[in-house]
Amino acid sequence: MPLRPLKKAVVFFSLPLVFLSTPSFSESSVTLYGAVDSNLQWSQQKYSVDGVDIKSTRTGLNDGYLKSNIWGLKGTEQINPQLDVFFNLESKFSLSDGTSKSMFSKKSFMGLRHEGLGTLSLGRQKSSSDDFLAVNMVRGLGKVSRAFGGSGVTADNLLKYESPQMYGLTLGASYARKGSVLRSDLHQIETDFEHYSSIAARYERGPWQMSASYDRKRGLDNNQRAQDFSLRGWTLGTVYDFDAFKLSLAYGRDYNGKFNTAGNIKNIGGTNPSLAGEELIGFYNRQGFKSKNYYVGMSMPIDQWKWAISWTRSSSNMGDLFRNETGRALPTGSQNIYATQLTYSLSKRTTAYVYGAYGKNLAYLKNLTGKEVGVGLNHRF
């Protein structure tokens, strides 16, 4: 190998050591944190297709409305005045029975944070899109991820970079190969991608914030081979704080499926209705699918109270796809979800809340409706 290229290679791969070679200040901290959240909920889903009526009603305890039930550890150590090492380990559990799927399955990553160069992290963590798109006003069925793509996605094996803020602008990018995705809507782990990438940007100026994101995922087929198409989605969002109230808006498109579960519904009481040999809920996850997504949210503080409302809408070509593949007509429609919540701060760490939501044409199936109302308590530690 020529001497000159060899010198360049040595210099390039030695750059990280430049930051780490300065004297350590040994200033470190580890924090135990978490949240417990439980509510009493009534919910109902109804659907009718091909002369068959399906209905599911449930009343009982529901875990994690304002915040998932979690506990975790996070820590930092200052290497030099500009450089920190950090880590975050987080586990999700059920408050109803105390069970947990696996240790630190919600977050498990570590990284370096440099004052002038930005932040680099590696592990199971939120995508760049999910970090930057902060438009949610209502939780539960009212979350933006019920209609949009990259919001609410956590992936493992994820290498993520976030730039320092310059003139109000922050950039982010993340990439993973051969891993699994945790969908925040159903907390469902899926080993389903060959490649996953996300890029995002956020601009902040005073009370105004604007964000943009693009996500791309190459999934795996039933034989665990890379599919010959990619799921893609982009989103534009903005939030403006008028002091008296906060307004958020978002618009986006998805192609070849959804990153999240449309309408937060996977089945109706354990049943996925079918027509022409095809399961209907989730039929949108296929090549050729397209959707247009909209979100409007508003929150208003009133002393210790905060009232919020939201509307999400998503229209698609799922009916045309079904007819082309099966030769049968499937009644479809645009998904619309209307939601509201009211919170009351009992203390800095404890919040009481009530909520309600109504969804129509969930998962793009005409007259598939969902309703939920509940009252609960959230405590953070």
CATH at residue 141: 2.40.160.10
pLDDT digits (tens, 9 = 90+) for 40-67: 999 999 999 988 999 999 999 999 999 9
pLDDT for position 185: 45
Query: CA–CA separation, 269 vs 274, rounded Å?
Result: 14
Which residue has better confidence, 230 or 170? 170
Strand stretches in the chain, DSSP E: 27-49, 52-63, 70-80, 83-92, 107-114, 118-126, 153-162, 169-183, 188-205, 208-219, 231-241, 246-255, 274-275, 278-279, 290-302, 305-316, 335-345, 350-360, 369-380
Give the mean pLDDT of 98-123: 93
Q: How confident is the model at residue 135 (pLDDT cuts 50, 70, 90)?
A: confident
Task: Note whether residue 270 is domain-resident.
Answer: yes
Q: Which residue has the tokens 């930051």?
A: 19
Residue 176: CB partners within 8 Å, gap ≥ 6? Answer: 155, 156, 157, 158, 159, 193, 195, 196, 197
- Structure-token pair, residue 243: 């002091």
Rounded CA separation 209/202 (Å): 7
Give tens-digit pLDDT for 288-311: 999 999 999 999 999 999 999 999
What was the pLDDT predicted at 229?
Answer: 83
Provide the 8-state DSSP code for 281: T
Residue 322 maps to a domain: yes
The mean pLDDT value of the chain amounts to 89
pLDDT of residue 1: 45
**150 is a domain residue:** yes
Residue 230 has pLDDT above 80, yes or no: yes
Q: Which of these, 313, 318, 339, 374, lies nearest to 43 by C-alpha position?
A: 374
In the predicted model, is pLDDT for residue 159 greater than 50? yes
Q: For residues 264 and 260, what is the distance between their CA atoms, to the nearest angstrom? A: 8
Say yes or no to pLDDT of 72 above 90: yes
Q: How far apart are CA 165 and CA 171, in angstroms?
A: 8
* pLDDT tens per residue across span 194-228: 889 999 999 999 999 999 999 999 877 666 666 77
Confidence of residue 190 (pLDDT cuts 50, 70, 90): low
In a domain, 89, yes or no: no
Residue 176, in any domain of the structure: yes
User: Would you say residue 331 lies in a domain?
Assistant: yes
Domain membership flag for residue 234: yes
Q: Which pTM value belongs to this model?
A: 0.88
Name the residue among 269, 206, 193, 201 with its Cα closest to residue 235: 201
Tell me, yes or no, whether 24 lies in a domain.
Answer: no
Distances (CA, A) of 380 to 49, 67, 68, 345, 347: 44, 9, 11, 12, 10
Residue in this structure with the two tokens 């665990």, named with its chain if needed? 224
Expressed as residue numbers, the domain containing 167 is: 36-67+136-380
Query: What size, in residues, is the chain?
Result: 381
The percentage of residues in the chain with a pLDDT greater than 90, rounded to a whole number, is 73
The total number of structural domains in the chain stands at 1
Where residue 178 falls among pLDDT bands split at 50, 70, 90? confident
